[in-house]
């Protein structure tokens, strides 16, 4: 592929859109060789790779958040279970029997029944 030098710049857009206006055609003075192309392609692949890596890391960061929440749930469940055990112990028959309320209770002298 070859490039031709010129001092006249014709704007194709203006040429097409309006009359009697100068048009400029820009031809870049920078030449890209095969090495530059290869490097550019490699850079693009790298960028794509980085984008993929970012997304993959993002998914992993969700895993850490999930793990943290799971740990909190487990901790709260353990606390809840401990409280249930404490509740069961406090309401156990032996505890109730030896409570201050039970110790002041007396046997009724007589018992009456409501007739049905």
Partner 1 sequence: MNLELQKGSRSKLLAAILLSLMTVFVVRLFYLQIIQHDYYVNTANKEQLKRLTIPAKRGVIYALDGNTPVPIVMNQTVYTVFADPQMTNDNEKIIDTIRQIAGGNARDNLQSLLEKRNSRYQILATKISRVQADKIKKLKLMGVGFQEESQRVYTEGSLASQTLGFVDFGGIGRYGVEAKLNSRLTGKDGLLQSVTDVSDVPLTIGNNNINKPAVNGDNIVLSIDRNIQSHTEQALTDGLKRTGATRGSAIVMDPQSGKVLAMANLPTYNPAKFNEVTDAASFNNNVVSAPYEPGSDMKTLTMATGIDKGVVSADSTYVNTDHIQVDDRTISNASYGQTGTISFQHAMNWSLNTGFVTVAERLGDGSSITIGARNTMYDYFYNKFHLGQITGLEVDGEVTGTIIPPTSADGNAVRYATMAFGQGMDVTMIQVASAFCSIVNGGKYYKPTVISGIIDNNGKYVTNKIVDPTATISKSTADQVRQMTQIARNSNFAGVDKPGYYVGGKTGTSQVAKNGTYATDETIATYLGYGGSEEMSRYVIMVQVSGDHKEFAGNYDAMPIFTDISNWMLNYLELQPKG
Ramachandran assignment for 31, one of left (phi > 0), alpha (psi -120 to 50 degrees), beta (any other): beta
Contact mark string toward partner 1, 21..60, x via CB under 8 A: ------------xxx--x-----------------x--xx
CB of 57 to partner 1, least distance (A): 10
Contacts of 21 (CB under 8 A, 6+ apart): 11, 14, 15
Distance CA 51, CA 58 (A): 11
If you count them, how many residues does the chain have?
116
Judged by CB under 8 A, the number of residues near partner 1 is 25
Residues that bind partner 1 (CB under 8 A): 33-35, 38, 56, 59-60, 62-64, 67, 78-79, 81-82, 84-85, 88-89, 91-94, 113, 116
């Amino acid at each position: 592929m070859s490039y031709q030098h010129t001092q006249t710049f014709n704007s194709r857009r203006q040429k097409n859109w309006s009359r009697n206006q100068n048009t400029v055609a820009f031809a870049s003075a920078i030449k890209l060789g095969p090495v530059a192309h290869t490097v550019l392609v490699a850079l693009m692949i790298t960028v794509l790779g980085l984008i993929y890596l970012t997304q993959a890391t993002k998914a992993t960061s969700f895993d850490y958040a999930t793990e943290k929440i799971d740990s909190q749930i487990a901790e709260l469940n353990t606390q809840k279970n401990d409280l249930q055990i404490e509740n069961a112990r406090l309401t156990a028959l032996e505890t109730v029997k030896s409570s201050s309320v039970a110790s002041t209770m007396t046997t009724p002298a007589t018992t009456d029944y409501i007739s049905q």
